[in-house]
């Protein structure tokens, strides 16, 4: 728990011995459109800048069964980056059994480096006993070890992710700690996205942002950003992290992933920073990235015939877009429609 942070208040008496299950809304439990959808389960009217919009909402297959099975086992929290005026009535429709003990909306997110993040340490619960189920890795950027990244859902009527997660979460409710269980037991591949070897925040690198653009936690001003209508109401699309944040996070990641000396970690950091500089020439703050080392002097004579050359040829990594950091990173095509939360 973080001192002074208690978004959920006191633990209900009937949840004293239960773990906390944080569930995302959009693309996790439901999907919504600003246009007419014939098979929508219900319609939510929302006033946006004086204009009334009809939002058509579809429930993910097996949602009702999922809530009936999992709801009584946990202290369930609906946590979304969407606006309250949209998400609250959606919860009224889908949570007929009142399984959500708490509802948290966009104002409860942490606005950090132009991203909306769900900081579990602010809930007022033991973080080791909190599990977040979310389709966006940006949502659980601060506590990735507590996350179950569910597959995104849009309109597939044959989807069974929620159904497949019931036995997994049932066992999780009986485990010692959430973090240990998630580390030891993998969720079903049909329902969850495998955690990438590269940390999710690294895929969000954006050299166009600086630390001066980083805001504090709290509500996001919808007017100050060029959102589409859907983004202004629903969970907004993700915005990449700044160069300074990626550098500081990279240092801690390398320290955890590589059990070598701090000097070795710093050396790796310089290599990664060098790669960032090569692929992102538009960095506004070059002091955050050390200049590349000078190239080795050319060999005066070519190696004799049959000899082996030990000169390591460093080639410029390909730039695959504004988010590129090097050819070692996967192309984050799957993130193009990802919301921040």
Between CA 1 and CA 4 the distance in angstroms is: 9
Residue 217 appears among annotated catalytic residues: no
- Residue 184's pLDDT band (cuts 50, 70, 90): very high
Would you say 233 and 46 are in contact if contact means Cβ atoms under 8 Å apart? yes
Q: What pLDDT is recorded for position 194? A: 76
Residue found by looking up tokens 């410029």 in the block: 316
pLDDT digits 0-9 by tens, 128-173: 999 999 999 999 999 999 999 999 999 999 999 999 999 999 999 9
* CATH number assigned to the domain with residue range 13-194, chosen from the 4 options 3.40.50.1000, 1.10.10.60, 3.50.50.60, 3.60.21.70: 3.40.50.1000
The string of DSSP letters for 155-209 reads S-TT--HHHHHHHHHHHHHTSS-HHHHHHHSPPPTTTBPPPPSS-GGGGGB-TT-
Reduce the DSSP state of residue 84 to 3 states and report it.
helix
Residue 233 confidence (pLDDT): 74
**Helices 243-257 & 262-279 angle (0-180, nearest 10):** 140
Task: Give residue 230's pLDDT.
Answer: 63
Question: Can you give the residue ranges of every domain in the chain?
Answer: 13-194
- The residue from 6, 14, 17, 26 that is catalytic is 26
Which one is catalytic: 6, 14, 17, 24? 24
Would you place residue 195 in the very low, low, confident or very high pLDDT band (cuts 50, 70, 90)? low
Segment 110-117 mean pLDDT = 92
Active-site annotation holds for 221: no
């Amino acid at each position: 728990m973080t001192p002074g942070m208690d978004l959920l208040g006191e633990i209900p008496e009937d949840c004293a011995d239960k773990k906390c299950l944080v569930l995302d809304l959009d693309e996790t439990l439901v999907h919504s459109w600003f246009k007419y959808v014939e098979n929508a389960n219900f319609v939510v009217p929302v006033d946006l800048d004086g204009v009334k919009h009809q939002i058509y909402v579809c429930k993910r297959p097996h949602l009702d069964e999922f809530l009936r099975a999992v709801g009584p086992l946990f202290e369930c929290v609906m946590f979304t980056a969407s606006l309250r005026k949209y998400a609250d009535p959606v919860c009224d429709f889908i949570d007929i059994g009142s399984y959500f003990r708490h509802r948290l909306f966009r104002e409860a997110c942490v606005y950090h480096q132009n991203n909306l993040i769900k900081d579990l340490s602010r809930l007022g619960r033991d973080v080791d006993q909190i599990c977040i189920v979310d389709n966006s890795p940006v949502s659980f950027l601060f506590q990735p070890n507590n996350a179950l990244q569910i597959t995104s859902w849009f309109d597939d009527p044959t989807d069974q992710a929620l159904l497949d997660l019931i036995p997994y979460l049932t066992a999780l409710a009986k485990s010692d700690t959430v973090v240990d269980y998630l580390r030891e037991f993998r969720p079903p591949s049909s329902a969850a996205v495998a955690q990438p070897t590269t940390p999710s925040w690294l895929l969000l690198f954006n050299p166009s942002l600086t630390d001066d653009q980083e805001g504090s936690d709290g509500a996001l001003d919808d007017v100050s950003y060029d959102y589409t209508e859907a983004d202004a109401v629903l969970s907004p699309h993700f915005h990449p992290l700044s160069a300074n944040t990626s550098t500081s996070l990279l240092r801690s990641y390398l320290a955890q992933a590589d059990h070598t000396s701090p000097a070795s970690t710093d050396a790796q950091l310089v290599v990664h920073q060098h790669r960032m500089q090569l692929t992102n020439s538009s960095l506004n703050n070059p002091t955050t990235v050390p200049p590349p080392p000078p190239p080795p002097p050319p060999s005066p004579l070519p190696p004799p015939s049959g000899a082996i050359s030990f000169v390591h040829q460093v080639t410029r990594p390909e730039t695959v877009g504004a988010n590129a950091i090097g050819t070692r990173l996967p192309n984050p095509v799957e993130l193009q429609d990802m919301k921040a939360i």
